[in-house]
Amino acid sequence: MDLSAIKMCLLLIVIGIMLSLEALNTGIERTIDLITEKEHPIAKVAKDVSAAAVFLFAIISVIIGFLLFFEPIAQMFQS
């Protein structure tokens, strides 16, 4: 793809943040499951908010990926 060093670093940062957010989400969900076995409204909110953070960053990651890869992919199809 011939990405510049800055673009490659940005891509690696986005991947790292995504994996870190997913790990945090899993940790939050498992901790809540450990603390309470009952359905609790506050526990549900905490799980939903952590999952929403992952989802929002996933959307941002797709946008960043599109911005990073659109031009190189377009050039591949033109040649």
- Contact call for residues 43 and 3 (beta carbons, < 8 A): no
Domain count, the chain: 1
In 1-79, which residue ranges form alpha helices assigned H by DSSP?
5-35, 41-78
Residue 73 confidence (pLDDT) above 80? yes
8 Å CB contact between 16 and 52 = no
Helices (H) and strands (E) in the chain, counts: 2, 0
Q: In this structure, what CATH number is given to the domain that contains residue 28?
A: 1.10.287.3610
φ, ψ dihedrals at 27, nearest 5° = -60, -45
At 5 the pLDDT is 94
Instruction: Give pTM, 2 decimals.
Output: 0.85
What residues make up the domain containing 38?
A: 5-78
pLDDT of residue 51: 97
pLDDT in tens, 22-69: 999 999 999 999 998 888 999 999 999 999 999 999 999 999 999 999
Q: Please report the sign of the dihedral spanned by the C-alpha atoms of residue 43, residue 48, residue 54, residue 60.
A: negative
